[in-house]
Structure 1
Amino acid sequence: MAQSKYVQTTANGCFAGAYFMGRWVQKSVLNQRAMYTTNLGAAILFMTKDTDCLKLAFANTTPTARFQPEIGIFIDDNPELRFKVNEVPDELHMKLSGPHLIRIVFAGNSDSDELWQYQQGLAITQLAVTNPGIMIPVKPAGKTIAFIGDSITAGCWVLKRTPSVGYAAEQNYAAQTAQILNAQDLRIAYSAAGLLRYGTGGVPAAPRFVKYINFETPAPSYHPDLVVLNIGTNDQRFDGNLMKIQFLNFFHELQDLFPKATLNVLIPFNQAFSKELRELSQENSELFFLIETAQWPLTYTDQAHPDLKGSTLAAQYLSRVLVNHYGSDYFKI
């Protein structure tokens, strides 16, 4: 899906000329200076001029993994190039030396990647163009939306039931909603995680992972305009009354963490805790906006994760609900 409106911005990482969208931090990874993330959907955005060659390098953070992390690269929003991180070419050549819009996205990983205790996320160690080329940081022109959730929001199992290659964080419902609304996509989601249940890769439950990107690294400060929360699918083993308390506590935590953002809560696609969420909505109507999903005709890769068609439908329905609720002028560029 093409995103039509970008604006020039300021570089915000250790590589001049690039904008890092999502939860990235500067770290030393395998004794190399890097921009590092543990979040699928995190992206790098920039324009190139006067060059037909992009130099890229990523740290091999999972050298023995059967399923290597993958990135997606979009050049001028043309069809995606997908690479395993350990197979990314040192130089990516483009047909023309004229201006190009480049978007690089952390697209897939594996549940076995140890994101929390070990540095097995995505680490980019080189990003440059050849002389006399220049890079210009850009970002989506609209609002910033923090998408918080589990594997469904992270972008797992969108294409097929194979780790990493079957994931599509760049094409799931969160990514497509952001693209429809020309919004920045601030992804905060981990596979199998919930409000009480821990995720895979050592990731803790949501009240912890919204504030940290691994066990020792606090997340940078962000100021989203909206929070879209889709969580609870993995908490079904827990009592509904307990979860109702946990939801309310977490809503207040998000309010404290993002005081200028409005909170929008999706009823999980499998309708987990729909009764409790509706009760909370009636009792706390000023705290959050509840989004019903029972009538969305989604299709799935399995019993839980929307496939590519289902992801597109979910994005269309969600963006429509948000525009109807906030008004088209709210999202106007």
Structure 2
Amino acid sequence: MRWTVLVIFALLGLVGCAGPIGDRYGSYTQPPQLDDGWPVADAAAKGVDVSALERMSRGLASHGFVQLRSMLLVRDGALVFELYDRPSRARALQDLRSTTKSVTGLLVAEAAARGHLDLDAPVLPHLTPDPASFDADWQTTTWRQLLTMRSGLACNDHDAGSPGHEERMYASRDWVAFWLKVPREGPAGAQGRYCTGNAVALGRALESAVGEPVDAWAARVLFSPLGITDARWATYAGGDRVDTGGHLRLRPRDLARIGQLVLEGGSWQGAAVLSPAAVAASVAPISRLEGSDYGLLWWVSTFESVDGRALRVWETRGNGGQHLFVLPELGLVASFTGGAYNHPDAALPYALMARHVLPALGVQVSPNI
């Protein structure tokens, strides 16, 4: 996993400092047992070095949390650590930005597992009543190519001049109609380009394939079985369409549920929620994007330890510091939310993982990441 070195090491030094703090962040306490279905446990009982977590908490508190809003750790199925910059964050809905895309990926993969669609079939018939009016490249573009950000369109959210840039899409009323007019820069299935329009189009196509609105499908197959009672999707087209490319809002504990679901291969508390095949497909590396492997709207990378181990990481990424890290070899889920939108502090979760969380589990991460 490669990061911007100067930014990350500045952050590492920052969170390693401990200054005067109140008693609230002076010592570790086990997360409270709530009536929300989460088992809780003492971190030490799950093999986590509590003193490392305490040092991290003190450092964060002494520097105003560096725009971190929440941080949760789940080990072996139990919530063992919970930190908020203010108490109200625990119950507040957080805008997940592009972590939403990974939720969308699970919803599409599950629809495929249930027979509603074929990931390698053309997606265009689910997006327009007249697919024959589009050229051959469009007519052969598949669900999987959109899920892996290989649409072939001139759409790159990291290039402000890109014709399909998300800000241009947001300025239109019908985002999918905009996306369908984006010029092509190459064949689908070739070069990966990070394009929010791909995820938005997948949401529209998913509605067609399953025969119900995305939010209803999500509630029925994912959120309700997980015990998530308050999930709020953003909309567009005057509120008529669900934004599956960003801005889903969940509580921190509910975000962590999704990570645990993926870790357990589609199960929650012993009950099957998603198909194991859908989860496995979501986190299987298929394409390359921004220096990382990429699955079905999930980032797939590694933490490199100093003893030569490459620890798999299934990850979501959202602007401002919205992240899930799922490390199957360690039985670990780490969930972060933040407010560092379009700011280098958004990289803080990586620093916390490398400097504190993994060492608390006995894993020293190479400084040459």
TM-score (norm 1): 0.27
Relative to its length, the structure with more helix (as a share) is 2
Relative to its length, the structure with more strand (as a share) is 1
In our comparison, the structure showing a higher alpha carbon Rg is 2
TM-score (norm 2): 0.25
**RCO (CA 8 Å, sep 6+): is it higher in 1 or 2?**
2
